[in-house]
Amino acid sequence: MHRRQLLIAGGSLFALSACASNGTAMGGGTPATTLAADAAAARAILPAQTPQAELLQVWTGPYEGVPPWDRVTAPKLKAAMLEGIELRRAEIAAIADNPAPPTFANTLVAQQMAGQPLQRAGAIYGVMTSNIGSADYQAMDREVSPILSAAGDEITFNEKLFQRVKAVADGAAAAGLSAEQTRLATRSRDAFIRNGAALNATQKAELGRINTALSNAFTSFGQKVVADENAWTLIPNEAGVAGLPASNKAAAAGAARSRNLQGWAIVNTRSSVDPFLSFADDRALREQVWRKFVNRGDNGDANDTNATIAEIVRLRDQRAKLLGFRNHAEWRMQDTMAKTPAAAMELMNRVWAPAKARVIEEVADMRAIAGHEIEPWDYLYYAEKVRKQKYDLDQNELKPYFELGNVKRGAFYMAGRLYGFDFTPLPRGTVPTFTPDVEVFEVKDKATGRHIGLFYSDDFSRAGKRSGAWATSYRSYSTYDGVRNVLASNNNNFTKSEGGEPILISLDDAQTLFHEFGHALHSLAAAYTYPALGGTPRDYVEYPSQVHEHWVLSRPILDGYMKHVETGQPMPQSLVDKIDASNTFNQGYDTVSYLSSALVDMDLHTQATPPTDIDAFERESLARLGMPKEIVMRHRLPQFNHLFTSDAYSAGYYSYLWSEVMDADTWAYFEESGDVFNPDIGARYKAIILAEGNTTDRAEAYRRFRGRDPDVTALLKVRGFPTS
C-alpha cells in the first residue's frame, strides 16, 4: 500500500497496515439483513453529494466499473483530489456532528462509507505518481500530498468523531457487536489514539505541522531517487559488454537506442545493473556501473537526499516524543507482531552472525578463482564463477526457461491449483489501461464460475516509474454495503524487448514475480465484511507473498510452464538437481546485504538523538555491525525508498525476515505432507491465512493453521545456516 492510499483510505485511519489485502465474499458471519440495515442507517446521515470532477465519478463499464485510465490527466486528477477532500470533509462532519447517540452503524459504518469518491481518485493518484511519474504528475504530487496529509490529520484530530468511535468501542460488549464489528471498533479507536487523537489542542497543532512536513519530505525523497535512477552508463564499444548474456546485451542496446545513443546503456536500476555486475567481464566498467548505482541520492547535487533524510528522522523523533514514545521505532511497532524493537533485533541478531560467517567462506572461494581481493563490484561476478565451478550451474543456462509470459502462466496455474482461481486474459481494449503495456485478466472461481475481480499486470520499466516491484489494489472487496469485486495489480520493472523478441528473466526475477503475485492473491482471496480490516501487520503482510516464491521450482510448474524458449522442452531434472544442490549458495551475500539494511534501519530509528550527518551515521552503524567490506547494503540510506517515501516500512524493514520465519515453516508443512500442492493444506491456508485479513489476531491465526507457533529452525535450514 502506497503513501497516497494511506492518506486517502477512510481518513487515514482505516489503512491500518499492509500492502496487499482486500477481499472476497463471506461477510464475517454477519447476516445480510443486518448489513443492509447498518448500511441504510449509515447512508441516512451522510449528506447527499454530486461530485463535479470527472475523476470522482462512479466507475462505469464492465466488471462492476473500472478506472477511466484513458481520460486521466494531471489537471483533472488535481481537481478531483481537491474536490474529493472537500466532499469527504463534509461527510466526516456529518458523522461527528450527528446528535443521535453513537452506534456501530451511524459511526463506524458511516466512516467506512465516507470518502468513496476520493478513494476512486486516490487509486488513480497512486498509479500516476508511481507508475508514470512524468513531470506534470510529479508537480501535482508535490502540491497535493501535503494537502492530503493535513486533511487526514483533520479526521484524526476531530475530537467529536474520536469520542463517538471510542464510545462504540468501549461499549461493544453491551451493544452485542459481533467479533468482527468489535475488532473494527477497537482497532479504529486505537488507531485514533496512536495517531494523536488524545493530545491537547496545542499538541495536535504541532503534530499536524510535523505530519505535513513529513509528507513534503517523503515526496521530495522519492522524486530525487527516481531522477537518479533515470541516469545510465553508456558503453560505446562491444568489448565493454563482453560476458553479458545475449538478452541483456539486447536490452542494453535497446536502452541506448531509446535515448538516441550509440552503443549500450546500462540504466541505473537494479534490473539493469545486477546482470551487468554478474556477467560483464570488464572490471573497471563493473566498478563504474556499481558506483553510479550505490551512490543514487548521494552525489552532493540537486538529487542528493541526505538533508531530506536528516529532516525526516528529526521530524519522526519529534512526533514519537510528542506521542509519548522514546523513539520512532517504539511508536511504529505498536501494531506489529514483534511489538518491540528488542524482539525484532533478537531475530535479526540470531541470523546475522551465521550470515557473516558464511560470507567469509564465500569470499575465500571467490578469491581462489580471482587471484585478488574481492571488491563489492566483484562479488556477483565471481559468485557466478564459483557457482559454475562448484555446481556446474550457469545462470545463463537457466534464463531460456524463464520467459516472462510462461512465468506468469505458471503463477496462474499455482493460483488455480492451490486456491481454485482462474485467470483469463482480456483482449486489449476491453478495459482502459494507463499504458498500452498493461495486461488485464479476469479472475473467476474455477468451481463455480463466480466473478472475483480483475488483475492488472504492469511489467515493464519506463522513465518516471519508481524502481522495484510492488502490489496494490484499485478497489477492495467488501460486503458491508453490497458486494464489491477486487481490482488488484502487480507492478514490476522488467526490460521490454524489441521487435517482439521473447523476454527472458532470471530465476530471481521469476521468484520476485511470484512474490508480488502472492500479494495479489492475498487481495483476491480475502473474505471479510469491512475493508478497514484488510490491512495486516507490517511484519505479517510479506508472509503470504514470500511463501509463494517456493512454487517457482515445483515440478508441475517446471514441467508445464518453465519450458525452453527455443526447444519447448521442460527443464531437465539434472538441471533442477543442480539448482537444488546450490539452493543455499551465496546465502551469505543475500542475507548480509538484506539484513544490514534492516539493522541500520532499526539503529537509525532507535537513536536517542537523531543523526544529522546521514552518511557518517551509515558508516558508523555498519562498523558497529562488523559489515564485511566486500558487500554493501541492499538499500543504502540515500536511496532507501522503503524507509523514506512513507512511514510504511520505517523501523520495519526487518518485516521480511519476520515473515520469512512463517514462510519457511509453511513451506516445510507442504513438503512434509508429500505434496506441495496438498489440497487440504492449500484450502486451509486460503481460508485462514489469506481470507481472514485482520479480522482475527494473526499470531493466533497461524497457530490455527499450523497447530503451533512458527519455528525459526525452518528459516535457518532454508538459508543453510546452523540450527543449533
| 248-292 pLDDT tens trace | 999 999 999 999 999 999 999 999 999 999 999 999 999 999 999
The mean per-residue pLDDT over the stretch 586-591 comes to: 97
Helix (H, G, I), strand (E, B) or coil at 2: coil
| 30-67 pLDDT tens trace | 787 899 999 999 999 999 999 999 999 999 999 999 99
| 177-224 pLDDT tens trace | 999 999 999 999 999 999 999 999 999 999 999 999 999 999 999 999
Q: What's the pLDDT score for residue 575?
A: 94
**What is each CA distance from 356 to 294, 380, 602, in whole angstroms?**
21, 16, 19
Which cell is 27 given?
461477510
b/e 494-515 (16+ beta carbons within 10 angstroms → b): bbbbeeeeebbbbbbbbbbbbb
**What is the distance in angstroms between the CA of the first residue and the CA of the last residue of the chain?**
37
Q: What is the DSSP letter of 416?
A: H
| 213-243 pLDDT tens trace | 999 999 999 999 999 999 999 999 999 999 9
CA distance 423 to 446: 9
Whether the pTM exceeds 0.85: the reply is yes
Question: Is the torsion defined by CA of 335, 341, 342, 346 positive or negative?
Answer: positive
pLDDT at 22 over 70: no
Q: Higher confidence at residue 15 or residue 447?
A: 447
> What percent of the chain shows pLDDT beyond 70?
96
Give residue 116's pLDDT band: very low, low, confident or very high (50, 70, 90).
very high
Which cell is 582 given?
546450490
pLDDT at 2 over 60: no
Q: What's the pLDDT score for residue 724?
A: 79
660 noted as active-site residue: no
Q: Helix, strand, coil % (nearest 5) of the chain?
A: 60, 10, 35
Do 536 and 187 meet the contact criterion of CB atoms below 8 Å apart? no
Which cell is 357 given?
560467517
Q: What's the pLDDT score for residue 3?
A: 39
Kindly name the residue from 154, 180, 229, 516 that is annotated as catalytic: 516
Q: What's the pLDDT score for residue 29?
A: 59
Q: What's the pLDDT score for residue 226?
A: 95
pLDDT at 645 over 50: yes
Q: Which residues, in sequence order, are CB contacts of 670 under 8 Å at separation 6+?
A: 550, 676, 677, 678, 681
Backbone angles phi, psi at 235, to 5 degrees: -115, 110
C-alpha of 350 from chain center: 25
CA distance 252 to 241: 9
Annotate 314-352 with DSSP letters as a single string.
Answer: HHHHHHHHHTT-SSHHHHHGGGSSS-SHHHHHHHHHHHH
Residue of 532, 487, 542 lying closest to 666 (CA atoms): 542
CA distance 457 to 436: 11
Tell me whether strands 486-494 and 470-475 are parallel, antiparallel or unpaired.
antiparallel
Do 560 and 582 meet the contact criterion of CB atoms below 8 Å apart? no
CA distance 592 to 358: 9
pLDDT at 623 over 90: yes
Q: What's the pLDDT score for residue 442?
A: 99
Q: What is the DSSP letter of 102?
A: P
Largest Cα separation within the chain, whole Å, is 80
Annotate 607-670 with DSSP letters as a single string.
Answer: -SS--S-HHHHHHHHHHHHT--TT---SS-GGG-HHHHSSSTTTT-TTHHHHHHHHHHHHHHHH
CA distance 683 to 264: 49
Write the single-letter amino acid at 358: R
Q: Which residues, in sequence order, are CB contacts of 541 under 8 Å at separation 6+?
A: 17, 18, 19, 20, 21, 519, 522, 535, 655, 659
Q: What's the pLDDT score for residue 526?
A: 87
pLDDT at 452 over 90: yes
The mean per-residue pLDDT over the stretch 618-635 comes to: 98
Helix (H, G, I), strand (E, B) or coil at 114: coil
Q: What's the pLDDT score for residue 343?
A: 98
On average, the pLDDT of the chain sits at: 94
The mean per-residue pLDDT over the stretch 549-563 comes to: 96
pLDDT at 473 over 90: yes
The mean per-residue pLDDT over the stretch 628-635 comes to: 98
Q: What's the pLDDT score for residue 31?
A: 80
pLDDT at 16 over 50: no
| 488-547 pLDDT tens trace | 999 999 988 887 889 999 999 999 999 999 999 999 998 999 999 999 999 999 999 999
Specify the residue for cell string 558508516: 619
